[in-house]
Each structure stands twice: as C-alpha cells, then as structure tokens.
Copies of this chain bind each other. A is one copy, B any other.
Amino acid sequence: MGRRPSPGASVGAGALLQLLRDGVPRTRSELSALTGLARSTVTGRVDALLAAGLIAPSGETASTGGRPPATFAFNPAARIVLGADLGATHARLAVIDLAGNVLAVANADLDIALGPKAVLDWTIDRGRKLLDQVGRPAADLLGVGIGLPGPVEHSTGRAVNPPIMPGWDGFDVPGYVRERIPVPVMCDNDVNIMALGEHFTAWPEYEHLLFIKAATGIGCGIIADGKVYRGAQGAAGDMGHIRVAHADDVHCRCGNTGCLEAVASGGAIAAKLTEQGIPAGGSLDVVELARSGSVPALRLVRQAGRDIGEVLAGAVNFFNPSIIVIGGSLALAGDHLIAGVREVIYQRSLPLATRHLRIAAARTGESSGAIGAGVMVIEHALDPDRLDSASFGAELKNG
C-alpha cells in the first residue's frame, strides 16, 4: 500500500464520510462490509476523518462477548465555518456548523469601495470576534467563504472587472485572507451564495432553483441538479442585461439599450419616481414608498415584476427550474413584484415547464448570503470526490 493513489482513483475517505453523513454510528467492520474497502484502508481513512474532526467516536456497540468495537458517526458540531456576504454598502457575517446551524451572525455598514484590504481586514477582525463570541478557537474553523457584489472568477477567487468595487479587480481575496487565517478560503459572487443559502436553508428538496436578486442591480443565482451552476467563465445567471421587449429607447450603463436592469432595477424605478416629482434615491426609498401605499411606486414595482417575468419566462422554457425564489431589497416591497413576475411567466412560458413550477419569495432573509458562503465551503470540503483525492488530510487538519 506504499503506492500513492492517483487523484480521483482512490476511494475511501469521501465514500466513508458520505455514508456517515446520515448520522448513523457504524463500526470499522460495518464500514468495510458496506464499502468493500480493505480493513486496513478503512482504519487509515477513519483515522484521517477523526484527525480532521469530521467524524467522532459515538460510543460502543452492544457487546457480543469480548471488548465491544468502537462506532463512529458524522460530527457536524465539531467544526465550524465563517461565511461573509460583502455587499455594496453592507457586510454580513455568519458562523455555522457543518450541519448549517447558525451559531452567530453580525451585520455592519461597510462600503465595498474602501478597497479589498480595508474591507477584508474588517471582515477578519469581526470574524475572529464572532468566534470568540461563540467560544470556539480558530482551530475549529474548517474554512472561510466570501461573497462579493460583482463577477468573481470562482477558481481563483479573484474579482473580474467589478463595476462598483474600485481597487478589487484581480485582487487575490483567498490569498490575502489565508495569510491571516490559515484555512481554505473560497470566493464567489453574492447572487450565487444567496442562491446556495436559500436552497440549503429553505428549499433543499428543489433540485433546480433560480434565485433572483432584485435590488440596485438584477442578478440570478442558478442551482442545477442541486449544485451552483456557474457556466464557462463563471458568468452564468447574469440576467440584468437581457433585452426586454418595448424598451429599446432605454439606455443602459452597459452601452446597450433595453436591458432588464435599465428598466426594472431599484435604481431605474427610483429615477422614474423622481421624474414624476416623487423623490427617491434608490431601491430602499422605492420599498418605503411602496410600503406606505404610494400608487405610482406600487405600479412601477408591479411593472418591474412583469419585466423581470418576461426575461424569466424565457429562462423557464430554457432551464425548466422547479422553483424560482425572488429576493433582494425590491422584494421587500411586498407582493407586487412577485405578482408581476407570476403574471408574465404563466402567460408566456410553456405549460409543461410551469405545471409544477413554484414561484416564491425568499425566506432566509438578509443572512442568506453569509450562510450560503459558509455552505459553499462545507459542500466543497465534504465533497466525496475531493476527499478521495491525494491531498486529503493536509488541507482539512485542525489549525
């Protein structure tokens, strides 16, 4: 057994953990019988999972004479993850355990335009305090997940030409954080982690989910077959610049005309209200006006829902999701946005694709992004294929 397994070829730790994630305690013999792995292999892999804290001894089985064999089970409380959702003007942090239980959250006003070092230093500092608050040492940290409000190259964790993030273009976010907290660090855009947080927390039974963030911009996070779908360049779900019919005269900041974001975002609605003599600075003003019953605001929010629905109607035919979840600050304006979305999707999409389609408001609230950032790290760390690769152990070991 001195031969080093080639990546992806060895089987063992990942398969064992996959088996044990159901929470049932099992002995080494049972694990060997269930997987076909050699006893010596099982012992080695169990030791590695014990060292990583991912499984724990869970007592002994009923004795059948002689010393009873030890059993092991998945140990979701032993390790924790820090998730950070860094928005344009707000930051949200969450500490969760490996089962996704939220142990602590923190929110703060934080301008992403302060640049990567200032923002990440704050995140690291606040994250450490959050660990202290829940009484857990840094050695318990399995990893850190970070969401950013712009395009992110997921493989490297670097922001790519982010429009509202001066100083972040190409910055090595995982590298900077890892130098200060020596654990695996992963990065993605905010909409993907919000989709993941919503899916994990509120809709785990829906395999094909579209999460719409309707706020200052409009974006979409895609869960396909239960996993985040990112596409060839990680740009999948960028629906804000898909063309809306009858809006050819509207100019978008991207240089094109008729883009969804230019007609249906919080900023676009605020501008239209201001034009009508009702001053509004952005999506939060729009939400406040709509909630206070302003008819022009309600009409514009409903029309924005219809415009979003028009683009989603195409996405429904194309992607055939099982659920569409509408979130983002504009969704806080009440049922008018989602009513407009429903109106057009049921009018325009094919019956086969809408027969069982659910269209619902987001449930997880403002922490969905921070939770999703943590879930991203957990799903990656516990991925059976990855655990089976040769690098297992080194990366996950405590501290």
Contact = CB atoms under 8 A, between A and B. Distances in A.
B19 A34 contact: no
A238 B15 contact: no
A21 to B, nearest CB: 11
Contact of A41 (B15, B37, B222, B248): B37
Interface string A70-98: 00000000000000000000000000000
Nearest to A256: B348
A154 to B, nearest CB: 12
A222 B245 CA distance: 25
Contacts of A256: 347-348
Contacts of A18: 8-9
A320 B235 contact: yes
Interface in A193-223: 207-208, 220, 222
B15 A37 contact: no
Interface stretch (A114-122, A134-142, A225-233): A225-233
A353 B34 contact: no
Contacts of A41: 36-38
A104 interface: no
A315 interface: yes
Contacts of A220: 318
Contact of A233 (B225, B348, B356): B356
Contacts of A10: 34-36
Interface stretch (A174-182, A266-274, A306-314): A306-314
A149 to B, nearest CB: 16
B15 A34 contact: no
A5 interface: yes
Q: Which of A229, A235, A237, A321 has the most CB of B within 10 A?
A: A235
Nearest to A348: B243
Contact of A230 (B34, B320, B356): B320
A185 B359 CA distance: 35
A18 B388 CA distance: 14
Contact of A353 (B235, B246, B317): B235
Contacts of A250: none
A171 interface: no
Given A34-B6, A37-B11, A233 B352 contact: yes
B319 A231 contact: yes
Contacts of A15: 9, 11
A12 interface: yes
A270 to B, nearest CB: 24
Contacts of A258: 245
A206 to B, nearest CB: 8
A350 interface: yes
A320 B229 CA distance: 10
Contact of A34 (B9, B38, B231, B237): B9
A160 B318 contact: no
Nearest to A5: B34
Interface in A244-268: 245-246, 248, 254, 256, 258
A236 to B, nearest CB: 4
A32 interface: yes
8 contacts: A5-B36, A6-B34, A9-B15, A36-B41, A38-B41, A151-B352, A161-B352, A315-B318
The 6 closest A-B pairs by CB, nearest first: A231-B320, A36-B41, A232-B322, A38-B38, A236-B320, A245-B245
